[in-house]
Amino acid sequence: MEFTAEQIAGILNGVVEGNPTASVSGLSKIEEGVPGSLSFLANPKYEEYIYQTKSTICIVNKTFEKNKELPGTLTLVRVDDAHACFAKLLEVYSQMTKKQAKIEEQVHIDEKAILGENLFIGAFSYISAGVKVGKDTTIYPQVFIGENVTIGENCTIHPGAKIYNDCKIGDNCTLHAGVVIGADGFGFVPDEKGVFSKVPQIGNVVIEDNVEIGSNSTIDRATLGSTFIRKGVKIDNLVHIAHNVDVGENSAMAAQVGIAGSTKIGRSVMIGGQAGISGHITIADQTRIVAQSGIPGNVRKAETLMGSPGIPMEDFKKSYFGFRKLPYILTKLQELEQKLKSLTKE
């Protein structure tokens, strides 16, 4: 699929500088550009590459000023925000390359399932009784969808995803390969002998609109009620969200985050990779949690937390400076103790 500089400028409301008929059929980083590819320049750290790139077209900010001669084969498309426009172009490309409507062979669809128009359902997928799937949704091969699941419009469910019974997924959601939605929460109660009995998990998971969940992440069903992933949430790969958690709108978390049961994450919270959050606590709106931090208690106001247990980042930096000096401090303390003993004897 080819695009000309003129077409790209039209999509992005940009201005062509160079050959408007120059065409591209692929994408590449500016430092790895090849003929026939499209790149973008937003970060000044990469500006040096634009003077030697072999890309055919490059998206740049309107404020970009040349310091020397550009390659003669390079055409620029000037836009207000190069990074945002490149992302928009990727979205357009993704939509254009989306699977065409089709139900492949060897798919099981229960007669009580209700399917919308213009669906793609890949081979070896299993659609259970009572399932409702909205129009323009793509379900790749080997997906399991349990009884009474609802999936909205324009969703993409990648290969091998599993959605257990009674869960609800909104519009414009993406579940990547291996995602598990609605597995049992970790509910066990020990008796007087320490033997664990399972607590039935009879709730569900509710995922609202415009949510994306990365590969091999798992979101547990509620013991009672629902585990909620609110509108606009973005979840990276290998994240675990436990039963009855409520993740607020437009929050984001990086890989290997773990959130224990019944915790409420506020709106627009950002959580770095490998952070762990205890159960039955509340995290305030717009909180920032640095990677590998541990949060054992409530966060009542928005701040950036670091360390385990997490404390305000500036306090952590000061504490860490002291920690690094600890061997030196201990040596000096021992020397002072020896001097004090000598003085006492004298």
pLDDT for 55-73, tens place per residue? 999 999 999 999 889 999 9
pLDDT digits (tens, 9 = 90+) for 309-343: 998 888 888 887 777 888 888 888 898 988 888 88
Domains 3-96 and 102-315 share a fold: no
Q: What is the DSSP letter of 66?
A: -
pLDDT at 6: 95
Per-residue pLDDT tens for 133-170? 999 999 999 999 999 999 999 999 999 999 999 999 99
Cross-strand partners of 339: none
Burial of 116 (0-12, 13-18, 19+ CB in 10 A): middle
Confidence of residue 90 (pLDDT cuts 50, 70, 90): confident
Average pLDDT over residues 295-306: 96
Pairing of strands 218-220, 180-183: parallel
- CA gap 50, 31 in Å, rounded: 8
Angle 83-85-86 from CA coordinates, rounded to 5°? 65
Choose which CATH entry (3.40.50.800, 3.40.1390.10, 3.40.50.410, 3.40.640.10) describes domain 3-96.
3.40.1390.10
pLDDT of residue 272: 97
pLDDT bin (cut points 50, 70, 90) of residue 346 is low
Residue 126 has pLDDT above 90, yes or no: yes
Question: What letters, b where the CB count within 10 A reaches 16 and e where it falls short, cover 286-313?
Answer: bbbbbeebbbeeebeeebbbbbeebeeb
Encode pLDDT of 183-236 as tens digits: 999 999 999 999 999 999 999 999 999 999 999 999 999 999 999 999 999 999
Cα separation, 227 vs 29, whole angstroms: 39
As annotated, the active-site residues are 243
Closest to 167 measured CA to CA, from 153, 179, 183, 156: 183
Q: What is the pLDDT of residue 320?
A: 78
Q: Which CATH class is domain 102-315?
A: mainly beta
Task: Provide long-range contacts, Cβ within 8 A and 24+ apart, for 168-172.
Answer: 168/204, 168/205, 168/206, 168/207, 169/207, 169/211, 170/207, 170/208, 170/209, 170/210, 170/211, 170/231, 171/134, 171/209, 171/210, 172/209, 172/210
Q: Domain map of the chain by residue range? A: 3-96, 102-315, 316-345
